[in-house]
């Protein structure tokens, strides 16, 4: 409205007569505008200039810009009055702004509104604190005081602390986005008009309005809001964090069990133990028993307070260094326990550990027509280790649901995990009991006896205790 007042020469007084628009009347109108604007009201100034015809020919004068033509028309206007309106914020916006701020996301408002109106609206929704100084809310003319934009460093100084930019032009939005990016920040920009397209395209994440947005704005954006609601943006951020955390857990779990499986085979080879697993058993583990729990980890509902975490840097790897340490440590724990169970099985069912001696024993039994107790004992030892490994990996799936919380916390909140463990267990018992398949895989679940099942269970329990103990030590170490 101040732009309109600046070009008014007369105004309609309270009695309806046209009077000169004196400096005192202008100051009185500005005070009224400030009072209304501070109440989060949008104020429009209504002014007229009757004319018999346009001062230019719209058909022939094609070279003049719209701003130049508007400048010709907006001269010697008569102020008719002020109109104030309010556009109340949508339900949930203030809570969404607070959630974003708790998540260390800086919410900024860029608007064409008058400065005091913009500041009042920003205070109503929590973007601007009441005690913030002048640097918290800026008129965009401060970015271009003489018409041209300030140097980059000076613009960066202004945008570093500001939360509200008022009386913004479309090109101001682009400059603000570029300034935030120069400061190393990831910027998400919302807009709906054609003039917003450059800023939407330049932002790291352009967000267009799906209902009121133009096709140009939608085309320049990376995301479209179907409900034109800021609350949906914060919800998308939270969902994105949950998905990313699920990916981290999936990768950490699948890497830990696969590293453990490789280590177990490696230790068997260098220690001259019989290889505890055949290629078919390894393939069955990867495709059947491991796959379902790992997918369920990717569908985790997310830990409470995830919106309080700091945003991750753009180039940060999926697994951080301490996550890799945890992954390798858990793989080492799993390896040590399953190797111990396997050695127990060799001592119990074969009474020999050396692969060369066992091979010689198998050859001698076959050559002499003996029943083949050694081969059967080896299969029993492998079966006990196989069962203990599947049980341990299923337990690891539960412990992997959090890098720092105990396994008992929110144990059953992921319904997909319950189903995945059920699938893995069904696959296990099918492999060791189903005639034909158990022969192909070389697993003899019916032959290991009670002591074999107890040994497998002890191994799984030891895995649970050791992995949780490591998690507790890691948490204590900070």
Q: What is the pLDDT of residue 478?
A: 66
Handedness of CA 386, 392, 398, 404 (dihedral sign): negative
Average pLDDT for 204-226: 91
* pLDDT attached to residue 133: 60
Q: What is the DSSP letter of 277?
A: -
Q: Start-end ranges of CATH 3.40.50.1000 in the chain?
A: 93-234
- Each residue's pLDDT tens digit, 217-245: 999 999 999 888 888 888 888 888 899 98
Per-residue model confidence (pLDDT) at position 132 = 67
Structure tokens at 250: 């999936």
Q: How confident is the model at residue 187 (pLDDT cuts 50, 70, 90)?
A: very high
Contacts for 192 with CB less than 8 Å, ≥ 6 apart: 208, 209, 212, 213, 214, 217, 228
Model confidence over 166-176: pLDDT tens digits?
988 888 999 99
Does the pLDDT of residue 256 top 70, yes or no? Answer: yes
Compute the average pLDDT of residues 376-384.
Answer: 93
Q: Is the pLDDT of residue 370 over 80?
A: no
pLDDT at 164: 92
Task: Using pLDDT thresholds of 50, 70 and 90, give the confidence band for residue 474.
Answer: confident
Q: Is the Cα torsion angle 366, 367, 373, 374 positive or negative in sign?
A: negative
Examine the pLDDT at 114 and tell me if it is beyond 90: no
Mean pLDDT of 72-91: 87
- Over range 267-292, report the average pLDDT: 90
Radius of gyration of the chain (CA): 36
Q: pLDDT-based confidence at 179, cuts 50/70/90?
A: very high
User: Is the pLDDT reported for residue 405 higher than 90?
Assistant: no
- Region 88-101: what's the mean pLDDT? 86
Q: Distance between CA 36 and CA 84 in Å, rounded? A: 7
pLDDT tens for 30-63 read: 999 889 888 888 889 999 988 888 887 777 777 7
| 328 confidence band (pLDDT: 50, 70, 90) | very high
Q: What percent of the chain clears pLDDT 70, i.e. is strictly above it?
A: 99
pLDDT of the residue at 193: 85
Q: According to the model, what pLDDT value does residue 54 have?
A: 83
Helices (H), 166-229: 170-182, 197-202, 215-219
Q: What is the pLDDT of residue 440?
A: 92
Supply 11's token pair. Answer: 């105004």
Q: Report, as an integer, the average pLDDT of 149-157.
A: 92
Rounded distance, CA 309 to CA 103, Å? 6
Q: Where along the chain do the CATH 1.20.1110.10 domains lie?
A: 238-477
CA–CA gap between residue 317 and residue 326 (Å, rounded): 15
Q: Measure the CA–CA gap between 206 and 187, rounded to whole angstroms.
A: 8
Pairing relationship of beta strands 42-48 and 77-85 according to DSSP bridges: antiparallel
Alpha-carbon distance 386 to 281, whole Å? 8
Please give the biggest Cα pair distance in the chain: 127
Is 347 or 60 the better-scoring residue by pLDDT? Answer: 347
Cα separation, 362 vs 366, in Å, equals 6
Confidence band, pLDDT 50/70/90 cuts, at residue 287: confident
Second CATH level (architecture) for the domain 1-85: 3-Layer(aba) Sandwich (3.40)
Across 68-72, 299-303, 369-373, 420-424, the highest mean pLDDT is recorded for 420-424
DSSP 8-state secondary structure symbol assigned to residue 144:
S
Q: Are strands 109-110 and 164-166 parallel, antiparallel or unpaired?
A: parallel
Total number of residues shown for the chain: 478
pLDDT at 230: 85
Question: Which residues of 147-300 form beta strands (DSSP E)?
Answer: 164-166, 188-191, 205-209, 223-225
For residue 291, the model assigns a pLDDT of: 86
- For residue 345, what pLDDT is reported? 94
- The pLDDT, as a whole number, for residue 428 is 93
Decide if pLDDT at 302 tops 80: no
Instruction: Indicate where the chain has its CATH 3.40.1110.10 domain(s).
Output: 1-85
- pLDDT, tens only, 434-468: 999 999 999 989 999 999 999 999 999 999 999 99
CATH number of 238-477: 1.20.1110.10
Q: Report the topology of domain 93-234.
A: Rossmann fold (3.40.50)
Q: What is the pLDDT of residue 281?
A: 92
pLDDT of 419: 92
């Amino acid at each position: 409205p101040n732009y309109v007042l600046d070009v008014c020469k007369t105004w309609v007084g309270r009695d309806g007569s046209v009077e000169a628009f004196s400096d005192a009347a202008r100051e009185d109108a500005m005070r009224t505008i400030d009072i209304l604007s501070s109440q989060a009201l949008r104020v429009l100034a209504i002014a007229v200039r009757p004319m018999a015809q346009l001062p230019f020919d719209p058909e022939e004068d094609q070279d003049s810009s719209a701003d130049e033509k508007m400048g010709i028309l907006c001269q010697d206007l008569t102020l008719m009055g002020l109109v104030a309106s309010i556009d109340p914020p949508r339900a949930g916006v203030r809570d969404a702004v607070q959630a974003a701020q708790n998540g260390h996301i800086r919410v900024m408002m860029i608007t064409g509104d008058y400065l005091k109106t913009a500041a009042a609206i920003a205070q109503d929704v929590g973007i601007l604190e009441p005690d913030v100084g002048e640097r918290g809310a800026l008129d965009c003319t401060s970015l271009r005081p003489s018409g041209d934009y300030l140097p980059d460093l000076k613009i960066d100084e202004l945008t570093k602390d500001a939360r509200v930019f008022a009386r913004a032009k479309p090109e101001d939005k682009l400059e603000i986005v570029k300034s935030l990016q120069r400061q190393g920040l990831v910027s998400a920009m919302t807009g709906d008009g054609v003039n917003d397209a450059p800023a939407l395209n330049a932002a790291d994440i352009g967000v267009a309005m799906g209902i009121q947005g133009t096709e140009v704005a939608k085309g320049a954006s990376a995301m479209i809001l179907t409900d034109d609601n800021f609350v949906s943006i914060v919800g998308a951020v939270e969902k994105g964090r949950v998905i990313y955390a699920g990916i981290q857990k999936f990768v950490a779990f699948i890497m830990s069990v696969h590293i453990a499986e490789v280590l177990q085979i490696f230790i068997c080879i260098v220690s001259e133990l019989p290889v505890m697993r055949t290629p078919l058993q390894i393939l069955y583990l990867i495709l059947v028993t491991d796959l379902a729990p790992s997918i369920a980890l990717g569908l985790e509902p997310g830990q409470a307070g995830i919106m309080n975490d700091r945003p991750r840097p753009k180039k940060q790897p999926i697994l951080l260094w301490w996550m890799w340490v945890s992954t390798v440590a858990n793989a080492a724990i799993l390896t040590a326990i399953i190797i111990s169970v396997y050695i127990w099985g060799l001592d119990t069912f074969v009474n020999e550990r050396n692969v060369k001696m066992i091979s010689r024993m198998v050859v001698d039994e076959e050559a002499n027509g003996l029943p083949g107790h050694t081969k059967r004992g080896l299969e029993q030892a492998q079966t006990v280790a196989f069962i203990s490994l599947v049980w341990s990996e299923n337990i690891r799936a539960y412990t992997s649901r959090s890098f720092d919380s105990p396994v008992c916390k929110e144990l059953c909140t992921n319904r997909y995990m319950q189903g995945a463990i059920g699938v893995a267990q069904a696959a296990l018992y099918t492999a060791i009991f189903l005639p034909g398949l158990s022969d192909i895989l070389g697993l003899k679940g019916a032959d290991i006896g009670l002591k074999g099942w107890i040994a497998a269970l002890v191994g799984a329990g030891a895995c649970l205790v050791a992995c949780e103990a490591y998690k507790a030590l890691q948490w204590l170490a900070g």
